[in-house]
Amino acid sequence: MTPAPLRVMIGAGEQRWDGWTPTQQAELDLLEPATFAAFLRDRQADAFLCEHVWEHLTVQEGERAARLVYTYLKPGGRLRVAVPDGNHPDPAYQAVVAVNGPGPAHDHRVLYTLETLTPVFTQAGFTVQPLEWWDADHTFHHADWDVLDGPIYRSRHLDHRNAAFRAGLGAPGFTSLILDCWKPTGQA
């Protein structure tokens, strides 16, 4: 019998999605390789999902974390990652996600754009496919992605604040910079 795919959420907080194993920082800490060794042992995950966590690390920590996750991902597997988008045009959004911002953003270390987040993952060996992002001219872009492959709540697809946008009636509300990061096949 084929085992069920191992699909793991990192820094899940209160989020729960069918088919995904939620983990908290104490179980899988992106800055502590020993937690990955203890949790996954000799296994590699089929997929990782990580929403609004990478911005809590410095760029150097984020690069190290990308290399760690790469090691524990199967060849051909995917890390889907979402962070606040530094090119989102709404000043109210930018106030909420700012570095050292209010409330849960108090420990935000970086505000990424597509141009600055992509190399965090390519330097680790990932092939990066952007799914949702704003460009520097404040135009919103999105690929045709499937939430079943990894739901990101703060997205055009799912966030309740984007209902009017999905209906073609207004601008996007709360979106994220979302990437699929693929580990090439043929890599250990």
Residues of the shown chain interacting with ligand SAM in the complex, contacts defined by CB under 6 A: 10-13, 15, 24-25, 29-31, 51-53, 56, 104
Q: Which is nearer to ligand SAM, 8 or 114 (CB)?
A: 8
- Find the radius of gyration of the CA atoms of the chain: 16
Q: How far is the CB of 175 from ligand SAM (least distance, A)?
A: 13
Taking the CA atoms of residue 62, residue 105, residue 148 and residue 119 in that order, the dihedral angle to the nearest 10 degrees is: -30
List the Cα angle 41/148/51 in 5-degree steps: 60
DSSP-derived pairing of the beta strands 21-22 and 7-9? parallel
Q: Which is nearer to ligand SAM, 24 or 139 (CB)?
A: 24
Q: How far is the CB of 156 from ligand SAM (least distance, A)?
A: 16
Q: How many CB atoms lie within 10 A of CB 138?
A: 10
Nearest position to ligand SAM, beta carbon: 13
Q: How far is the CB of 126 from ligand SAM (least distance, A)?
A: 18
Q: Which is nearer to ligand SAM, 105 or 114 (CB)?
A: 105
Token representation of residue 103: 């409330």
Q: Which is nearer to ligand SAM, 38 or 136 (CB)?
A: 38
